[in-house]
Amino acid sequence: SQTIHQWPATLVQPVGSPLSLECTVEGTSNPNLYWYRQAAGRGLQLLFYSVGIGQISSEVPQNLSASRPQDRQFILSSKKLLLSDSGFYLCAWSGHSTGELFFGEGSRLTVL
């Protein structure tokens, strides 16, 4: 069966520090991969998605970047965090024939 893991689960970082959130999927090949941010009252905001290795699409201009160095690995990064980057980040995957998203456990980032 397919599983998705993301880490770390919680992170407290100072303003200006770098960020790296990692997500891996097991049990499937060539998944679509996504990074979403969930803020209270704002729903799920799509940040990045990838349909294949090295293919990254960004939906929102921001202080973040994403990379897909391997087929089932998706990384969310920042060189210098801002206070506004605080939030709950969810990684997800879907197959190419169905649209169902399977979400990871989420990573709560607090920037101080």
Partner 1 sequence: GENVEQHPSTLSVQEGDSAVIKCTYSDSASNYFPWYKQELGKRPQLIIDIRSNVGEKKDQRIAVTLNKTAKHFSLHITETQPEDSAVYFCAASIGNSGYALNFGKGTSLLVTP
Report the residue number, 59 or 79, with the smaller CB distance to partner 1. 59
Give burial (CB, 10 Å; 0-12/13-18/19+) of 41. Answer: exposed
Report the residue number, 6 or 78, with the smaller CB distance to partner 1. 6
41 contributes a contact to partner 1 by CB under 8 A: yes
54 contributes a contact to partner 1 by CB under 8 A: no
- Binding track, positions 61-100, relative to partner 1; x by CB under 8 A: -----------------------------x---x-x-xxx
Shortest CB 21 distance to partner 1, Å: 15
Only one residue has tokens 């969930």, namely: 38
Q: How many CB atoms lie within 10 A of CB 76?
A: 22
Give me the amino acid identity at 4. Answer: I
**Bridge partners of residue 6, in order along the sequence:** 23
Spell out the residues 6+ positions from residue 7 whose beta carbon is closer than 8 angstroms to its own: 21, 22, 107
Q: Can you give the binding site for partner 1, defined by CB under 8 A?
A: 32, 34, 36, 41-46, 49, 51, 57, 59-60, 90, 94, 96, 98-101, 103-106
